[in-house]
Amino acid sequence: MKEYDHTEIEKKWQKHWSKKGIYTSKENPKEPKSYVLDMFPYPSGEGLHVGHPKGYIATDIYSRFKKMSGHNVLHPMGWDAFGLPAENYAIKTKTHPRDAVGKNIARYKEQLSGIGFNYDWKREINTTDPGYYKWTQWIFLQMYKKGLAFQSNDPINWCPSCQTGLANEDLDDGKCERCGSVVEKRPMRQWVLRITEYADRLLTDLGNLNWPESIKESQRNWIGKSEGAEISFKTKDSSEIRVFTTRPDTIFGATYLVLSPEHEFIQKNERKISNITEVIQYVEKTKNKTEIERTAVGKEKTGVQLKGITAINPANNEEIPVWIADYVLTSYGTGAIMAVPAHDERDFEFAKKFDLPIREVVVPNIIDQRNPPVAGKKSVERRNIHAIVRDPKTGKYLAIKWPKFNWITFPMGGVEVGESPEVAARREVLEETGFKNLKFVKVIDGQVRAEYFATHKDENRVAYTTAVVFELENHEQAEIDEKEKAQHEVTWIEEKQINYEYMTHAEANFWRDRLPQKFSQYTGVGFLVNSGEFSGKESEQVKKAIVDSVGGKMVTKYKLRDWVFSRQRYWGEPIPLIHCEKCGVVPVPEKDLPVKLPDVKNYAPTGTGESPLAAIEKWVHVKCPTCKGKAKRETNTMPQWAGSCWYYLRYMDPKNKKALVDPKKEKYWAPVDVYVGGAEHATRHLIYARFWHKFLFDIGVVSTIEPFTRLYNVGLILAEDGRKMSKRYGNVINPDDIVATYGADTFRIYEMFMGPFTQASAWDTKSIMGSRRFIERIWRLAEKVKAEGVQPNKKLETLLHATIKKVSADIETFSFNTAVSSLMILSREFEDASEVAVNDFKILLQLLAPFAPHVTDELWTSLGNKKTIHESMWPTFDPAKIVSDTVKIVVQVNGKVRDEFEIGVSAEENEVKERALSRENVIKWLNGAVPKRVIYVKGKLVNIVIE
Residues 238-297 binding RNA (CB under 7 A) are 244-247, 260, 294-295, 297
CB 532, min distance to RNA, A: 20
Stretch that binds RNA, among 329-337, 473-481, 664-672, 794-802 (CB under 7 A): 329-337
Judged by CB, which is closer to RNA: 764, or 911?
A: 764
Query: Which residue from 226, 549, 731, 865 is in contact with RNA, where contact means CB under 7 A?
Result: 226
- Distance, in Å, from the CA atom of 805 to the CA atom of 64, rounded to the nearest integer, reads 17
In 3D, which of 561, 572, 631, 645 has the Cα closest to residue 164? 572
Judged by CB, which is closer to RNA: 360, or 573?
A: 360
Q: How many residues bind RNA (CB under 7 A)?
A: 77
Using H for helix, E for strand and C for coil, what is the string for 384-400? EEEEEEEECCCCEEEEE
- Distance, in Å, from the CA atom of 884 to the CA atom of 895, rounded to the nearest integer, reads 26
Stretch that binds RNA, among 152-160, 305-313, 408-416, 931-939 (CB under 7 A): 931-939
Kindly write out the interface string for residues 643-682 of this chain, putting x where it contacts RNA by CB under 7 A and - elsewhere.
------------------------------------x--x
Contact by Cβ (8 Å): 503, 406:
no
CB 341, min distance to RNA, A: 11
Contact by Cβ (8 Å): 666, 649:
yes
**Angle between the N-to-C axes of helices 130-145 and 685-698, in degrees from 0 to 180, rounded to the nearest 10:** 70
Judged by CB, which is closer to RNA: 259, or 506?
A: 259
Q: Which of residues 754-783 bind RNA (CB under 7 A)?
A: 754-756, 759, 761-762, 764, 766-767, 769-771, 773-774, 776-777
Contact by Cβ (8 Å): 386, 505:
yes
Could you tell me where the beta strands, DSSP code E, fall in 721-834? 761-762, 785-786
**Angle between the N-to-C axes of helices 768-781 and 853-862, in degrees from 0 to 180, rounded to the nearest 10:** 10
Backbone φ and ψ for 757, nearest 5 degrees, come out as -55, -40
Q: Is 819 helix (H, G, I), strand (E, B) or coil?
A: helix
CB 910, min distance to RNA, A: 17
By CB under 7 A, residue 931 contacts RNA: no
Q: How big, in percent rounded to 5, are the helix, strand and coil portions of the chain? A: 40, 25, 40
Q: Which of residues 165-224 bind RNA (CB under 7 A)?
A: 213-214, 217-218, 221-222, 224
Backbone φ and ψ for 612, nearest 5 degrees, come out as -60, -20
Longest dimension (CA), the chain: 109
Contact by Cβ (8 Å): 337, 260:
no
Kindly list the distances between the CA atom of residue 586 and the CA atoms of 351, 594, 631, in Å, as whole numbers in the listed order: 52, 15, 9
CB 511, min distance to RNA, A: 18
CB 766, min distance to RNA, A: 4
Judged by CB, which is closer to RNA: 583, or 887?
A: 887
Query: Which residue from 559, 667, 881, 915 is in contact with RNA, where contact means CB under 7 A?
Result: 559
By CB under 7 A, residue 351 contacts RNA: no
Kindly write out the interface string for residues 869-888 of this chain, putting x where it contacts RNA by CB under 7 A and - elsewhere.
-------------------x
Half-sphere exposure of 511 (CA within 13 A, CB side): 28
Q: Which of residues 714-753 bind RNA (CB under 7 A)?
A: 753
CB 342, min distance to RNA, A: 12
Kindly write out the interface string for residues 365-404 of this chain, putting x where it contacts RNA by CB under 7 A and - elsewhere.
----------------------------------------
CB 829, min distance to RNA, A: 10
Judged by CB, which is closer to RNA: 406, or 927?
A: 927
Contact by Cβ (8 Å): 183, 157:
yes
∠ CA 901-902-905, rounded to 5°: 135
End-to-end CA distance of the chain: 63
- Distance, in Å, from the CA atom of 107 to the CA atom of 81, rounded to the nearest integer, reads 14
Judged by CB, which is closer to RNA: 336, or 661?
A: 336
Kindly write out the interface string for residues 789-828 of this chain, putting x where it contacts RNA by CB under 7 A and - elsewhere.
--------------------------x-xx-xx--xx--x
Judged by CB, which is closer to RNA: 87, or 344?
A: 344
Judged by CB, which is closer to RNA: 905, or 935?
A: 935
Backbone φ and ψ for 662, nearest 5 degrees, come out as -65, 125
